[in-house]
Structure 1
């Protein structure tokens, strides 16, 4: 377990140093050799963690899903689906905001690259399926009454999440709190979901 934690810490360190270099020199201007040198590791060690430079950008989505998995366990006792979704996705957004300009850079690069965006869509699908599982559970336990299909509800929530993230990344660089903004968007979406309640 300790070995796995160390590997994860090293991977996170490589990711953060690489993003810092991307910010200083631009994504295209940074080589794997420079990233390895900045991390104090051999180039071959870099490839033990990332098979190519592009994977650094995809790591953010993967690590967000890992964080979501951990948070699902932490918030398992929350029964209200909206409160649980707000806590889970708010936690993901908080990580972006804590990373500030570096995280904006990563998201911006993903948006600009059609190839990377296609690969990142796998993370988006996983997120949507996790939400669908939560929503189905909430419907089965009677915590959510809605005539809307589970997939549609999950899509609307994911849309609110990514709208918040894209707005923060591309338009609202000075926005103080991305989590508060998401909660406002989620309120609007959730009101629409609950308006379609069973009579």
Structure 2
């Protein structure tokens, strides 16, 4: 079989490089944080990221596809941190590390927390279905830690890992948003300690 015209082999629409995705991710979050996802245009995102508008359309096809891909990119960045924390040998330490990593991520990308909260509870939302799937992926990482606690006999009786994981992820999102919108003067360590006070009984720890 001959190569496509122009000598290109492989898919007609090559994948974005990580550098380009990160530029677009950062640019979109800056703009979304200022005005919300609905009012931001592809032209503005491209200009903010320093890439050509045509490049954005070539790689993504539409604004909805662009935002969808950026949501997935952001969640994968967060998920990679949570997986690393969840991999700690002691499940109590792993749960505390997961909290710390989530707060650290939302500290770096507060607009992402805002976007997640606004779109998850926005009905109808252009990216709600995507966000529900992504939320489930993140909650599943947390649930893995809680399952380990349950297997070790360190989860309080009656606590269901699936429900607790969803509740903890929601708590981290809302706490992060409250932190950056209403209490930006608080340190990450202060916010982290407040959350850990709530979950130490769940994690089977009473020390700091």
* Residue 149 (structure 2) aligned to one of 138, 156, 180: 138
Alpha carbons 1:145, 1:194 under 8 Å: kept: yes
2:49 aligned residue: 39
Say whether residues 1:129 and 2:153 are aligned partners: no
- After superposition, give the CA deviation of every residue in 1:8-33 in whole Å (9 maximum; x if it has no partner): 22111012123334456664543212
Q: State the alpha-carbon separation in 2 of the partners of residues 61 and 35 from structure 1.
A: 17
Query: Can you give the 5+ residue segments of structure 2 that lack an aligned partner in the other structure?
Result: 1-13
**After the TM superposition, which of the residue ranges 161-170 and 126-135 deviates more from structure 2?**
161-170
Larger fraction in helix: 1
- What SS does the corresponding residue of 2:70 show, helix, strand or coil? helix
Q: How does 1:106-185 map to 2 (within 5 A)?
A: 106-107=115-116, 109-110=118-119, 113-114=122-123, 115-116=125-126, 118-119=128-129, 120-140=131-151, 142=152, 144-147=154-157, 148-172=159-183, 174-178=184-188, 180-185=190-195
Q: Distance in 1 between matches of 2:100 and 2:28?
A: 25
TM, length-normalised to structure 1: 0.70
From the superposition, tell whether residues 13 and 152 of structure 1 become closer, same or farther in structure 2 (CA, over 3 Å): same
- Number of the residue aligned with 1:69: 80
Contact 2:26 / 2:49 at 8 angstroms: preserved in 1?
A: no
Q: Per the alignment, in what secondary structure is the counterpart of residue 41 of structure 1?
A: coil
Larger Rg: 2
CA contact (8 A) 2:91 2:149 kept: yes
Q: What are the ranges of 5 or more consecutive residues in structure 1 without an aligned counterpart?
A: none
In structure 2, the CA distance between the partners of 1:176 and 1:117, relative to structure 1 (3 Å rule), is farther
Tell me, in whole angstroms, the C-alpha distance in 1 between the residues paired with 2:139 and 2:117: 21
Deviation at 1:161, TM superposition (A): 1.4
The answer to whether the Cα contact below 8 Å between 1:22 and 1:30 also exists between their aligned partners in 2 is yes
In the alignment, is the contact (CA less than 8 A) between 1:135 and 1:144 conserved in 2? no
Say if 1:68 and 1:88, in contact at 8 Å, map to a contact too. no
Shift of 1:67: 3.4
Give RMSD over aligned pairs.
3.6
8 Å CA contact retained: 1:14, 1:39: yes
Residue 156 of structure 2 aligns to a residue whose secondary structure is coil
The residue aligned with 2:90 is: 80
Q: Distance in 2 between matches of 1:25 and 1:176?
A: 24
